Structure 1
Amino acid sequence: MTTMAFRFLSSWKIWLWPVLLVGLALGAWLLPWESWVPALRDWVQSHGPLGWVVFVGVYVIVVILPLPAAAMSVVGGLAFGWWGYPLSMLGSVLGAVPPYLIGRTWLRGILLRRFPGPRVAAADRAIAGNAVLFVTLLRITPILPFTVQNWLLGLTGITFWPYCLATLLGLAPGTLAMVWIGEMGGLATTRTSEAQLLIAGAGLLCFAILMLWLTRVATLELRRAGFGAQD
């Protein structure tokens, strides 16, 4: 990726988090969910652990396929409240593993044979040597879709456990934001006072500002690390 392309992406995609958070929060406030959100939560409560397993299983499938995984975190907040956060994190990490393993086991060797040379090898070593930092920053930034990241990272020299750890760290803030929005939607369907909803909304707004700052920092760090340098 050239420097110009990287700067173009970071210049507009850096605003993706706050815009997405505000839009979903407005949806949580305005959409008529009173009829089906309580039914969803009743189903979850009546099925106990089966509901957790079903949600995590669907989440894994959504992450592997090119589908909007963030929407699943919102559903997690709607269905499970704050318990949707660990369930969504589990689904995200489990869903990120198969594409990585496929790339690492079968596709990485083909790529290295197709593009041999000291420059590719040096870049691969640099990424693998800073695996946790690199993957964490990449997960925070919205430069590439999550599913695309999983496939591409399997082509690098990053090993399994640093990959999983960095995925967990990098996804934690954004997943929390999505579950928060879902929880707000759940609150809007119950007998929650407007004051409580306003407090929850204000907290979400502050978190959106934090996400904007984190995304900006991560983007700058990736740029300093050479991501987006000229080929």
Structure 2
Amino acid sequence: MSDNDSRLRPGDRGLVVRAIIGCLVVLAIIVLGMLLPTPGVTTVRTWADATGSWFVVLFVLVHVVVTVFPVPRTVFTVSAGVLFGPIGIVLCIVASTVAAAIAFVAVREIDRRHPSTLIAKVREQPAYLPIAARLRARGWLAVGSLRLIAFAPFSVVNYASALSPVRFWPYLGATVAGLSPGTIAVVLLGDALTGESSPWLVMVSGVLMATGIAGLLVDARMPARPEG
């Protein structure tokens, strides 16, 4: 690998910087929440437990429907940790994967049948360009690396993937693999806000976030390989 290949390109550098800043912000919020009194959080979890299984189903459905659109999923991930504890990991991964699949199929179908102003606007988004470039260079491998850190916009990755040659099943597999570390980290941090989880889980969250950033850095330094 040459020196030029090992350097971060401008688009990659921006994604890495945003990922690091985002992780630091989330950690700062969680630490602040752990230091402050949290009766409100524990009360909310007690209420959620008392509502029964229908609330879990409603949470997943709302998560799916809302995150198909350009709405950050982080609020659902943190909420899942607060409301459901570690089981929120499964709920968020399932809901996010379904939302990603729906967005991919819908955007690809719209682009195939009726190239529209909406699709043109997606292509004009500033966040779209570096993501689309990574997808062209690495195909579904780029999907996995972009999912490693939740601060690459979830919806933009979905839409950009649909507008790229990436195939559906590799996209879906890379989505699950890439989403899992960050989702586990944030849900466990949300769970820590209740004050009922082990401090070791906070350390696990930090390790997972660091792993995600490391994965993003490794991918950014790899030479581009078009999807075959």
TM-score by length of 1: 0.74
Please say if residues 56 and 91 of structure 1, whose CA atoms lie closer than 8 Å, have aligned partners that are also in contact: yes
Per-residue CA deviation, residues 96-120 of structure 1 (Å, 9 max, x unaligned), is: 1222112211214649xx9xxxxxx
Say which SS state the counterpart of residue 158 (structure 1) adopts: coil
Distance in 2 of aligned mates of 1:144 and 1:108: 25
Distance in 2 of aligned mates of 1:24 and 1:152: 30
Give structure 1 stretches of 5+ with no counterpart.
115-123
Please say if residues 149 and 182 of structure 2, whose CA atoms lie closer than 8 Å, have aligned partners that are also in contact: no
RMSD between aligned alpha carbons? 3.0
Partner residue, 1:16: 21
Matches within 5 A, 1:91-110: 91-108=95-112, 110=115
Residue 75 of structure 2 aligns to which amino acid in structure 1?
A
Partner residue, 2:157: 149
Q: Percent of pairs identical after alignment?
A: 25
Say which SS state the counterpart of residue 217 (structure 1) adopts: helix
Q: CA deviation at 1:47?
A: 2.7
Residue 80 of structure 1 aligns to which amino acid in structure 2?
F
Aligned with 2:193 (options 185, 191, 194): 185
Distance in 2 of aligned mates of 1:170 and 1:80: 22
Would you say 1:211 and 2:226 are equivalent positions? no
Distance 1:216 1:142, change over 3 A: farther
Distance in 1 of aligned mates of 2:193 and 2:109: 42
Partner residue, 1:202: 203
Would you say 1:53 and 2:57 are equivalent positions? yes
Aligned with 2:82 (options 78, 84, 90): 78
TM-score by length of 2: 0.75
Partner residue, 1:119: none
Please say if residues 28 and 181 of structure 1, whose CA atoms lie closer than 8 Å, have aligned partners that are also in contact: no
Distance in 2 of aligned mates of 1:86 and 1:145: 21
Say which SS state the counterpart of residue 67 (structure 1) adopts: coil
Residue 10 of structure 2 aligns to which amino acid in structure 1?
A
Distance 1:178 1:32, change over 3 A: same
Per-residue CA deviation, residues 162-194 of structure 1 (Å, 9 max, x unaligned), is: 2211111110011011101111012x1x4x7xx
Partner residue, 1:29: 34
Partner residue, 1:5: 10
Please say if residues 150 and 179 of structure 2, whose CA atoms lie closer than 8 Å, have aligned partners that are also in contact: no
Residue 225 of structure 1 aligns to which amino acid in structure 2?
A
Say which SS state the counterpart of residue 38 (structure 2) adopts: coil
Q: CA deviation at 1:16?
A: 3.2
Say which SS state the counterpart of residue 193 (structure 2) adopts: helix
Aligned with 1:63 (options 60, 67, 74): 67
Distance in 1 of aligned mates of 2:17 and 2:183: 21
Distance 1:139 1:46, change over 3 A: same
Q: CA deviation at 1:155?
A: 1.0
Partner residue, 1:174: 182
Distance in 2 of aligned mates of 1:134 and 1:211: 13
